[in-house]
Structure 1
Amino acid sequence: MFVGRKRELAYLEERFERGRPELLILYGRRRVGKTELTKEFLRKKRGIYYLAEKLPENLQLKKLSEKVVEFFKEDIITEFSDWEMLFKYLATKQERYVLVIDEFPYLIEREPGIISAFQKGWDEYLSNSNVFLILTGSSVSVMENRVLSYKSPLYGRRTGQLLLNQFPFNEIGDFFEKKYEFDDLLKIWGTLGGVPFYLEQFDSDLDYYGNVMEKIYNQNEVLFAEAELLLNEELREPRNYFAILRAISLGKRKLGEIINETGIDKSSIMKYISILNLLGIVEKEVPVGEEPFKSKKGLYRIADNFFRFYFRYVFYYKDLILTDQKERLLSILKDTENQFFSLTYEDFARSAFKWISESNYFEIGRWWDRNTEIDLVGMNREEKRILLGEAKWSERPVGTDILAALRERGNLPRWDEFKEKEYAIFSRSGFTKTLVDEAKSDRSLILVHGNKRAV
């Protein structure tokens, strides 16, 4: 079942309707839905879909040639002897057609010269043809460094690019026919992220815990081994990356703490962290408003929800999973989940800034110093506006004490440059009547119950 991606499909449709030759680059992490998106786009188009493989160049060309010949139904041609012949032939076609080459990095990783052949093919033939060419790739580093960068032979040839991201929280309910309430959806998002392939593994007839037990804590299911398989495919020395991710998942977020936990020296660990950052798995967080490269307060976090859950609840407990100790695993999860999902709720709250307030905030994040921490800060320096907020993943309604503490932090001298202040409180379990009544008479106070604005 194809879900969502309306904006991305609209983008492809708009480009197709222009009638011009197109060379589009579509990329994003594995399992994010690139293949499904291109196939959905092709469903109502005349086009060729080719999945590249880790094969020698001559076999790749042969297999693609067969696809092209089959599509155009020309029995005279059996195969093309080189890429130039293929591109020259494609340029002769008068009809508008789509050509998707999926996993383009597989095509070029063993034969770097192929990318130069594509440059020549585009410059001399396809740039004046009716082709709508889409090159996709799951290796974000390869796509950015070898296809999109200014050093690439294809630099300046592409007519557009589309980075396919994970689904945002507010769209994942569509995968489950909206059967789940907010609590379970937040936990699912915190466990799987917005990766469609992972979301499709969960069964909407099971509750959250049932899905974790059956679909993750089960050595026969794809999600059990997924994280390590992806890292093994992308990385050399995966053991060191596993150690770093495990350390961060245990709360070792400062560089020195990670070094002490893993035993990896500083020069090596920075290389590993840089690669994890490039893959979108780890990010360096600094207090909002500070320069990332200058701040000395940087903390590392696992930015990908699936990897964060995996290294907290799967990697360390594989022996329990392999011996089918599900009751113990469930107990560990339930005993610690509030702390784990409180961070997920903070992430959700920061992503919700754009719809909870009528003001535009351009710098959004968390802020902290030695004595104080604020979950949510949004700043608009031009208009001298600031929003300060808290996200409470608690089973008790939030009262006026939380608001008073938030306002006290909002009066710190560092915020004096802002003339207008808004306050936002996100609560899993709602608010006391006193706080709701106060919010009704105070336009600067925003209350969000779960994922819906209460006042």
Structure 2
Amino acid sequence: MLIGRVHEHELLEQKYHSGKSEFVALYGRRRVGKTYLIRAVFKHRFTFQLTGLSEANLKTQLENFNYAVQEQHPLLKLNPLSSWMEAFQTLKKIIEKSRQKKKVIFMDELPWLDTQNSGFIQALEHFWNSWASARKDILLVVCGSAASWMIHKLINNKGGLHNRITLRIRVEPFTLKECASFMKYKKIQLDHYQLIKLYMVLGGIPFYWDEVQRGMSAAQNINRLCFMSEGLLSNEFSNLFKSLFNRAERHEAIVEALAKKSAGLSREELILHTGIANGGNFTRLLHELEESGFIRKYTPFGKKNRDSLFQLCDFYSLFYMKFMQHTKRTFERDWMKMIDNPAHRAWSGYAFEQLCLMHSNDIKKALGISGVETSEFSWRSTLDTTG
């Protein structure tokens, strides 16, 4: 069952039923449900699917391609592949033999296919520009969690794929309402307060919510997921940024600096706190974190654009930095012991504010003021210098 994603579903169906070939790119945070969305929408309508292999060389990736062809099109005669140009020639044969009205080609974890000196991007460009785009029956859907690659090598490509993407979808985390629907679907009963407490730790990441257990309170689930040695999220942070970004320690440094200042930091303050040099590369790091939903840029009330601040808005990253990073995870009761202290109260206020900002349109609708033009701002006391 597909929870939420109504708008994304409609967009994908429009591209499926269009009268021309379409090139669709999905990107977003790790575990946000990109692959699940595509498979739930297209189900049995795929002509070919391929998933890239993590940290595999060109030879292994091409072998994996042939295995996928063999499994999905067993009657097609195959030869060992030596390049991606040859692989895309095979893909052409698959498309030409297909009787489907629209040939849906799904390439998941696309950045992993682009190994060093593999020629993958050039082969993809040639396949699309010289052949696929001239047809009217191809829907090429590509997906990847590696934000750096997806943003700079595909979506903002300056070479042969420039402006070739006909639809880009940034898959966002679930809203609070969608998380509630997910829990109802799983027959897990949680009141609004418990849902909010979980959201303030898990954010709207479906993969995390799928691990919530029936019969346990929000605090018990948080303790099990985050503070038990076998908990899903106990080591998630170290893998999260490495899977998304190149030289991820720079992105982590920015997130760590922002976690210490709830109201946010200016660009100049971030440079000072992280030690990262000012310039185009720093701008790129901030852009990647924004596009991946980890930070947001906003202008404080009464200030001008030049006074904009960057603020950490990823719930799990904030929780990790506040409570998990330096906590020895040995006792099952750890989180219960941390609940009633000043650090917990400060975090709760910040996380709840972020939750409200994220759902401001829903709040306005519930208050009956959705038709009124408003602006929302983070609270920033002029007396508060500690964050």
TM-score, structure 2 length as denominator? 0.82
| Greater radius of gyration (CA) | 1
Shift of 1:101: 0.5
1:9 corresponds to = 9
Q: How far apart in 2 are the matches of 1:113 and 1:144?
A: 19
Q: Counterpart amino acid of 1:77?
A: L
Cα pair distance change 1:360/1:153, threshold 3 Å: farther
Shift of 1:285: 3.6
2:176 corresponds to = 169
Q: After superposition, where does 1:35-74 map in structure 2 within 5 Å?
A: 35-53=35-53, 54-74=55-75
Q: How far apart in 2 are the matches of 1:243 and 1:279?
A: 16
3-state SS in 2 of match to 1:98 = strand
Contact 1:287 1:366 in 2 (8 A): yes
Cα pair distance change 1:291/1:60, threshold 3 Å: farther
Q: Counterpart amino acid of 1:21?
A: S
Shift of 1:254: 4.0
Cα pair distance change 1:290/1:114, threshold 3 Å: farther
Q: Tell me: higher relative CO, structure 1 or 2? Use CA pairs within 8 A at least 6 residues apart.
A: 2
3-state SS in 2 of match to 1:61 = helix
1:113 corresponds to = 119
Contact 1:9 1:41 in 2 (8 A): yes
Gap runs ≥5 in structure 2:
none
Contact 1:60 1:107 in 2 (8 A): yes
Does residue 133 (structure 1) correspond to residue 135 (structure 2)? The answer is: no
3-state SS in 2 of match to 1:366 = coil
Does residue 86 (structure 1) correspond to residue 90 (structure 2)? The answer is: yes
Cα deviation code 1:291-318 (max 9, x no counterpart): 44x11xx44432101111111111121x
Give percent identity, aligned residues only. Answer: 21
Cα pair distance change 1:66/1:78, threshold 3 Å: farther
Q: After superposition, where does 1:11-410 map in structure 2 within 5 Å?
A: 11-53=11-53, 54-79=55-80, 82-93=86-97, 94-95=99-100, 96-111=102-117, 113-127=119-133, 128=135, 130-177=137-184, 179-234=189-244, 242=252, 244-251=254-261, 253-254=264-265, 264-265=274-275, 267=277, 271=282, 274=286, 276-277=289-290, 279-288=292-301, 290-292=303-305, 294-295=306-307, 298-317=308-327, 319=328, 321=329, 323-324=330-331, 326-335=332-341, 336-350=343-357, 351-353=359-361, 354-355=364-365, 356=367, 357-361=369-373, 363-366=375-378, 370=382
Q: How far apart in 2 are the matches of 1:46 and 1:237?
A: 35
Q: How far apart in 1 are the matches of 2:196 and 2:65?
A: 43
Cα pair distance change 1:162/1:203, threshold 3 Å: same
Q: How far apart in 2 are the matches of 1:241 and 1:27?
A: 18
Gap runs ≥5 in structure 1:
373-455
Q: How far apart in 1 are the matches of 2:21 and 2:170?
A: 20
Shift of 1:102: 0.3
Q: How far apart in 2 are the matches of 1:91 and 1:129?
A: 12
Cα deviation code 1:83-110 (max 9, x no counterpart): 4422432442342332111010111242
Q: Counterpart amino acid of 2:355?
A: F
Shift of 1:27: 1.0
Q: After superposition, where does 1:433-444 map in structure 2 within 5 Å?
A: none
Report how many aligned residue pairs link the two structures.
363
3-state SS in 2 of match to 1:136 = strand
Q: How far apart in 2 are the matches of 1:90 and 1:289?
A: 59
* Deviation larger for 299-308 or 51-60: 51-60
Q: Which has the higher strand share?
A: 1
Shift of 1:208: 0.7
Contact 1:141 1:278 in 2 (8 A): no
Cα deviation code 1:348-383 (max 9, x no counterpart): 3332335131424364333657479xxxxxxxxxxx
**Root mean square deviation of aligned Cα:** 3.1
Cα pair distance change 1:27/1:362, threshold 3 Å: farther
Shift of 1:24: 0.8
Shift of 1:114: 1.4
3-state SS in 1 of match to 2:234 = helix
3-state SS in 2 of match to 1:201 = coil
Contact 1:119 1:157 in 2 (8 A): no
Cα pair distance change 1:59/1:243, threshold 3 Å: closer
